[in-house]
Amino acid sequence: MAQLRSLDALHDEASLLDQIGPRILSATEALLACQRADGHWCFELEADATIPSEYILFQHFRGETPDPQLERKLGAYLRRIRGAHGGWPLYHQGRFDVSASVKAYFALKMIGEDPQAPHMREAREAIIAHGGAAKSNVFTRFLLALYGAIPWRGVPTMPVEIMLLPKWFPFHLSKISYWARTVLVPLLVLQVLKPKAKNPRGVRIEELFTIPPAQVRDWPKGAAHQPWGWAKFFGVVDKFLKQSEPIFPSATRKRAIDTAVAFVTERLNGVDGLGAIFPAMVNSVLMFDALGYAPDHPHLIAARKSVEQLLIIKEDEAYCQPCVSPVWDTALAAHALLEVGSEACEAAARAGIGWLKPLQVLDVKGDWSAQRPATRPGGWAFQYANPHYPDLDDTAVVAMAMARAADQASGGPQGSDAVAIARAKEWVEGLQGRDGGWAAFDADNSHHYLNNIPFADHGALLDPPTADVTARCVSMLAQLGETRATSPALARGLEALISTQEADGSWFGRWGINYIYGTWSALCALGA
């Protein structure tokens, strides 16, 4: 009987193997069909309801003439992704999230959805059941304050004067992640100026509150990751700041605003936008508006265009992406095609790598240099252009693809390929953290006490080393011929990776947001 079961298992395995070849061929054809004429790939990057909702509210904040067809498609998208719980989650089929739901409801009402329609009524009831809009996170409350939906006393104070704090101070921009600082800096200016949304349709959402919105005096203290003691402490700090802010010296305030504006304009990044991420782009537009920039000012035009480029408009639906991912997509596609190994696939992979090569950042010392001033630049960013913020993950994957293509074509990197790979390796090694691991954008961005400040209630203020990025950097060093004996960076990276293994044998992958992602990344590194 055991022998029969063994034969059946072998038969099933053979049957599966028979299917693999045709499926690889089909997937290869699909991937090649997606390659663009200049050699690169860029797939859609879908997030959750918050980004398209914020796009709608952004337009109405500025009083822009709406595009009825676009609004109809955005509304169709938001209705489709609503959860069975009546509201909106932060991930597919996830649990109800009050902040995402408040934004989505507000956006749908803004574009003319009937509040008494079944989907709106269900969403409203779900929001109220979870404590109402007053339970929203800090960034949602900031948006509500800009719309006049709640008073500013319901938002934690972050004085713009933090732009002038010395680096040794417990809070400094260099101590938070790149995405946090690019989002926060224009917000600091907005909190000082407190512009009010034009909101030409006069849409309000009092029905989402369990108390009159004007009575909202406080912000919810203590997210799941924030201990009660820290929440209490920052509550006292916030009360002090609110009472003392009116007497801050005006000259100091002006200097702080000028410093914030200079930070934004230096990193504005043309039509690719501040930080090349949606929230920072939108905040930069609102900041320039609030400062009185003319509609035809080059900074405002570029920032506005950067937002529009994130739209995905289809026949019946539309949504807004958080950013674009051409470098990551192209590097991964090249790896897949090199694995297939046919002449056509290798040619397509080389075309993609040829597109990637000039995007290497070699002449801009970005924010990462605050921690590693002696390191030369040499990384790639995730997006088409984001020179102040290249990342370790993309850099490692691109360098591995470039080296792999050269190995398969000519026995190893030569000429400009060898130079590009060497600069990437140098930059990756230079950004290794004190603990041996690698983060995505910075070194030693591990000031965990800052996760307790009010503006960190989303739990993503920092950029500490992670298993998935560490694994990718270890894999790159190993592929380039390094060993524990020849590379202290690889040896330390392996130790850091092994130390982050969970008790059940898995690794958490922050940038894939799950354990499968982290585990396969770690296994690839250990196998390399």
Q: What is the pLDDT of residue 351?
A: 98
Q: How confident is the model at residue 4 (pLDDT cuts 50, 70, 90)?
A: very low
Is the model's pLDDT at 1 over the cut of 70? Answer: no
Of all residues in the chain, the percent with pLDDT exceeding 70 is 96
Cβ contacts of 408 within 8 Å, gap of 6 or more: 338, 341, 346
**Of the candidates 267, 339, 263, which has an alpha carbon nearest to the alpha carbon of residue 28?**
339
Is the model's pLDDT at 153 over the cut of 50? Answer: yes
Mean pLDDT, to the nearest integer, of 480-500?
97
**For residue 474, how many other CB atoms are within 10 A of its CB?**
30
Range from 13-27, 64-78, 229-243 that averages highest in pLDDT: 64-78
Mean pLDDT, to the nearest integer, of 219-235?
72
Same fold, 50-320 and 326-527: yes
Q: What is the pLDDT of residue 74?
A: 99
Of all residues in the chain, the percent with pLDDT exceeding 90 is 85
* In the chain, domain spans: 50-320, 326-527
Q: What is the pLDDT of residue 447?
A: 94
Is the model's pLDDT at 10 over the cut of 60? Answer: no
Least confident range of 152-156, 318-322, 462-466, 493-497: 152-156
Secondary structure (3-state) at 503? coil
Cα Rg of the chain (Å, integer): 25
Is the model's pLDDT at 60 over the cut of 80? Answer: yes
Cβ contacts of 116 within 8 Å, gap of 6 or more: none
Measured between alpha carbons, how far is 441 from 451 in angstroms, rounded to an integer?
18
- According to CATH, the topology of domain 50-320 is Glycosyltransferase (1.50.10)
Residue 515 identity (one-letter amino acid) = Y
Cβ–Cβ under 8 Å, residues 85 and 34:
no
Active site residues: 393
- Alpha-carbon distances, residue 155 vs 98, 144, 205, 224, 454 (angstroms): 17, 9, 17, 19, 9
Secondary structure (3-state) at 366? coil
Helix (H) or strand (E) holding 496: helix 488-499
Q: How confident is the model at residue 230 (pLDDT cuts 50, 70, 90)?
A: confident
More confident residue, 230 or 57: 57
Q: How confident is the model at residue 19 (pLDDT cuts 50, 70, 90)?
A: confident
Q: What is the pLDDT of residues 371-383, one digit of tens each?
A: 999 999 999 999 9
CATH no., domain 326-527: 1.50.10.20
Q: What is the pLDDT of residues 327-351, one digit of tens each?
A: 999 999 999 999 999 999 999 999 9
More confident residue, 79 or 512: 79
For 192, the token pair is 């000082």
